[in-house]
Amino acid sequence: ILPGLDVKVSLTWLEDREDKEPTIWVSINGRDADSLVGPQGRSLRALQYLFRTLLYRQVDGNYNVVVDADGFYKRRRQSLEALARKRAEQAVASGRRVRLRAMPANERRIIHIALRDDPRVETESVGHGRDRAVTIIPKDDVSV
């Protein structure tokens, strides 16, 4: 994929019931795969954006594209789900809203999905642009 890097690239076609479009999952594995992630996954998101742009120019149809390096997104999803549960507990215990740090839309979606079946809380995205963040609201919220 990039000269000088020891990586292997594989493509997987996924049909997801929650998404309207199929997903093309690009897995990058190998000794140098972690170097493609960058701080907080920024380099990987940039690579994903470039790959998505190239694909849309070459192939007709609507596809969701995910570029993952050495399982970063699986680990990140698990970390975000654990964060969601921990902050939901905090919101319920304190009876107050808990606002998470700003994060990209795909990460906010993971938080919303992780807590959608928790009857004690609800979630909403607040803010604009890059400052958009998830707020976890206990059902008997006293802070308005």
Q: What is the pLDDT of residues 16-74, one digit of tens each?
A: 656 567 788 888 888 888 888 888 788 888 988 998 888 888 887 777 888 889 889 88
Q: What are the helix (H) ranges across the chain?
A: 42-58, 72-94, 105-115
Give pTM, 2 decimals: 0.74
- The mean pLDDT of 114-128, rounded to a whole number, is 95
Is the Cα torsion angle 55, 56, 57, 59 positive or negative in sign? positive
pLDDT of residue 144: 47
Q: What is the pLDDT of residues 69-101, one digit of tens each?
A: 988 988 999 999 999 999 999 999 999 999 999
Predicted local confidence at residue 96, as pLDDT = 95
- How many whole angstroms separate alpha carbon 109 and alpha carbon 120? 18
Mean pLDDT for 99-126 is 94
